[in-house]
Amino acid sequence: MNQTAQILSIYAADTSGVCSALFELGGMTVIHDASGCNSTYTTHDEPRWYRGSSMMYISALTESDAVMGNDEKFISDLTEVANRLKPEFIAICASPMPAMTGVDMEAIAFDVSHRTGIPAFSVKTNGMHSYIPGAANAFEEIVRHFCEPAERRKGKVNIIGATPLDFSLKGSVESIKQWLRDNGFEVGCCLSMGCTLDDVRAMSSAEVSLVISSTGVKAAEYLKREYGVPYVKGVPIGKSFSRVLADGLRSAAAGQEASPLALRTGESIMAAVLGESIFSASMAAALALDKGISARVIETVGESDLSVLSPFDLSAPDEDVCERELAKHSLIIADPLFRPIAGKGRFVPLPHEAFSGRCFERDIPDLINRELTFLKETGL
Amino acid sequence: MIKLAIYGKGGIGKSTVTANLSAALAMLGKRVIQIGCDPKADSTGNLLGGTPVMPVMNYLRERDDEPESIEEISKIGYGGVLCIETGGPTPGLGCAGRGIVSTFSLLEELKLFEKFKPDAVLYDVLGDVVCGGFAVPIREGYASKVLIVTSGEKMALYAANNINSAVNNFADRGYAKVRGIVLNRRNVENEEQKVRDFAEKTDLPIIADIPRSNDIIHYEDMGKTVIEGDSSLEVSKRFLALAQLLIDEDEQND
């Protein structure tokens, strides 16, 4: 059966992706949805919810408001709360109900911005896509609204696509920043873990952007198109691929094309790496270079950046297709929730918060620019 | 770019006016897209020689998957006009307004405008703005001007007034503005005066006066517009004049 999952979990939804992308930036994010509880989007999918505050709200849409098209209630609530809280910006996004009834979220944002004088924008969601387009649209909107022209700074690198959904609070993002410094780069805006709107404003001053998740591709493309900032996709996993990626950043900064993830070969494949495409392709590259293990990517979200996949890789968001493909591999690296369909191959759990939430958070390793020791238990 | 939404009471001749206007714009050298936004999916038939294009909603229903190219859900008609129909769900089921939202979202994903690069886009919309879905064509990014088609019949003028009020309700949202009235004559008593009174009351100009003509029916039976059938006819000249007016306005705006 297509688009069905009997055993597997599903990835966090686009609305969760928006909340995660905008969590630290000082704005007010409001999901137009029934209920008054935002637990689905934040407490379940957002580990930072327990460590700090963020203005994340639900509109508490009622059946009557939806049927009658009572946009004014939403607009006046947004206006009242924004006038009281004075957020840096207002971001609104749609759950399935307003998406179904065709609520014009852009017009509502326009109206609220007009009434409050606070920048407001709509992030395109419908509650039925994965976190990737949600976070990607949010990153693009925030860059589009706040990035300003600035003088280029030699060696400055943006990191784009950082959310706990892909990089839990286990030190990976800090390690990426340290790895950049160790390679002589200046760390620019890390969108958006540990950055401010001022950092976003100065993103155009970077020499190059490092895109560490599919969620960052749209914003990186915008920066390239509008400000001429090139970008390189990849996560510095393992020792050798980290060096290749650092060289890629230097090449891109010098105006040359750089695609470190395209260097993989598909010879004698034994392993499969499952998950979001940029992280998984980086892991596959690291396995080849550090361990001599040839691996293919099985992209399981269905909405990752498929351009980083090689012909021997596969996008298999459907459970039965994924299960069939996994039977071909003797080593599988994936979130623990994939284990029931992993067949007889050796299974190496690598938790992914966008898939299994905080269930296995404590087991998420920091793999940045270090030996792939998490494979030791398997004897590799 | 000319971006027009054509509204009016059901059966008043919106599709006839839209198709003839598309054909006239094409005859004047413009690259045109016509999008029928009515579940009946009968907007573009007279541009296509009577062989209809598969409506987008039919495609989605039958294939259970989205098209990967514009070509799968469009047909080139008279004068190179690209014809698309949203269609609708199975009658009595689903949500027609949502069908329009889905279709427009799909056309955006397929990068219709970037790929086809039209000079003019015409949206032929269901009689009344009954829900949010039917207001999508007048949202920002789609139509910038609305034409209301009416005759002198009481119910047609009633619907025209409703449409004008609905569009005015969205004034602070940056939606399309009503450009004017197209009088599509049915030869009712005091027709011109009734429509002029309405135009005066709503402060809207009558920008075209289409005479009742058997030629329209004659060529429609052949799956054609009068522009294609005989562009020298008086009724054809009226459509060509309206097309030229819109072209001139668009060029002035540029």
The answer to whether residues A294 and A288 touch, using CB atoms and an 8 Å cutoff, is: yes
Q: What is the mean pLDDT of residues B166-190?
A: 91
pLDDT bracket for residue A122 (50, 70, 90)? very high
A246 token code pair:
């650092």
pLDDT bracket for residue A377 (50, 70, 90)? low
Please check whether residue B96 touches A, CB under 8 A.
no
Q: Is B117 a residue of the active site?
A: no
**From the centroid of its chain, how far is CA A296?**
21
- Specify the pLDDT at position A54: 85
Is the CA virtual torsion A198, A203, A205, A210 positive or negative?
positive
Cα–Cα distance measured from residue B138 to residue B147, given in angstroms and rounded to the nearest whole number: 11
Name the closest residue on chain A to residue B170, using Cα atoms: A107
Cα–Cα distance measured from residue B83 to residue B33, given in angstroms and rounded to the nearest whole number: 6
Check CB contact under 8 Å for B140 and A69: no
Q: What is the mean pLDDT of residues A295-318?
A: 96
pLDDT bracket for residue A50 (50, 70, 90)? confident
Check CB contact under 8 Å for B170 and A114: no
Residue A217 phi, psi dihedral angles, 5° rounding: -65, -45
pLDDT at A127 over 70: yes
Cα–Cα distance measured from residue B45 to residue B197, given in angstroms and rounded to the nearest whole number: 34
pLDDT at A380 over 70: no
pLDDT bracket for residue A68 (50, 70, 90)? confident
- Residue tagged active-site, from B42, B64, B119, B128: B128
The answer to whether residues A191 and A147 touch, using CB atoms and an 8 Å cutoff, is: no
pLDDT at A283 over 60: yes
Sort B79 into a burial class: Cβ within 10 Å, 0-12 / 13-18 / 19+: buried
Q: Is the ipTM of this complex over 0.85?
A: no
Which residues of chain A lie closer than 8 angstroms to B140, CB-CB? 106-107
Out of A104-108, B138-142, B187-191, pick the least confident.
B138-142
Please check whether residue B174 touches A, CB under 8 A.
yes
**pTM for the structure as a whole:** 0.87
User: Which of the pair, B139 or A156, is modelled with greater confidence?
Assistant: A156
pLDDT tens digits for B47-74? 999 899 999 999 998 988 889 999 999 9
The answer to whether residues B195 and B152 touch, using CB atoms and an 8 Å cutoff, is: yes
Q: What is the mean pLDDT of residues A106-118?
A: 95
Which residues of chain A lie closer than 8 angstroms to B136, CB-CB? 102, 104
- Specify the pLDDT at position B99: 87
User: Which of the pair, A374 or A346, is modelled with greater confidence?
Assistant: A346
Closest CA to A30 of A64, A86, A70, A77: A77
- Specify the pLDDT at position A287: 95
- Specify the pLDDT at position A45: 75
Closest CA to B23 of B33, B38, B13: B33
CA distance A112 to chain B (A): 10
Q: What is the mean pLDDT of residues A32-45?
A: 76
Check CB contact under 8 Å for B132 and A111: no
Helix H or strand E encompassing B114: helix B112-116
- Specify the pLDDT at position B115: 94
Contacts of B119 (CB under 8 A, 6+ apart): B1, B2, B25, B30, B31, B32
**From the centroid of its chain, how far is CA A72?**
33
Sort A2 into a burial class: Cβ within 10 Å, 0-12 / 13-18 / 19+: exposed
- Specify the pLDDT at position A173: 97
Is the CA virtual torsion B46, B49, B50, B56 positive or negative?
negative
Cα–Cα distance measured from residue A194 to residue A216, given in angstroms and rounded to the nearest whole number: 15
pLDDT at A39 over 80: no
The CATH number of domain A261-378, selected from 3.30.390.50, 3.90.320.10, 3.40.50.720, 3.30.70.360: 3.40.50.720
Q: Is B14 a residue of the active site?
A: yes
The answer to whether residues B100 and B41 touch, using CB atoms and an 8 Å cutoff, is: no
**Which CATH class for the A14-129 domain?**
alpha beta
pLDDT tens digits for A11-37? 999 999 999 999 999 999 999 998 766
Closest CA to A100 of A135, A45, A141, A63: A63
pLDDT tens digits for B94-131? 888 888 888 998 999 999 999 999 999 999 998 667 78
Q: Is B111 a residue of the active site?
A: no
The CATH number of domain A148-259, selected from 3.40.50.1980, 1.10.287.3510, 3.40.50.2300, 3.30.460.20: 3.40.50.1980
Cα–Cα distance measured from residue A160 to residue A216, given in angstroms and rounded to the nearest whole number: 5
Instruction: Give me chain A's average pLDDT, please.
Output: 93
- Specify the pLDDT at position A1: 57
**Which of A69, A103, A107 shows the shortest C-beta gap to B174?**
A107
So where are chain B's domains? Answer: 2-253
Helix H or strand E encompassing B223: none
CATH of domain B2-253: 3.40.50.300
pLDDT bracket for residue B248 (50, 70, 90)? very high
Give start and end residues of each alpha helix (H) in chain A: 14-22, 63-68, 71-85, 96-101, 105-116, 131-146, 172-182, 197-201, 217-227, 240-253, 277-286, 319-326, 353-356
Q: In CATH terms, are A14-129 and A148-259 the same topology?
A: yes
Amino acid at B111: K
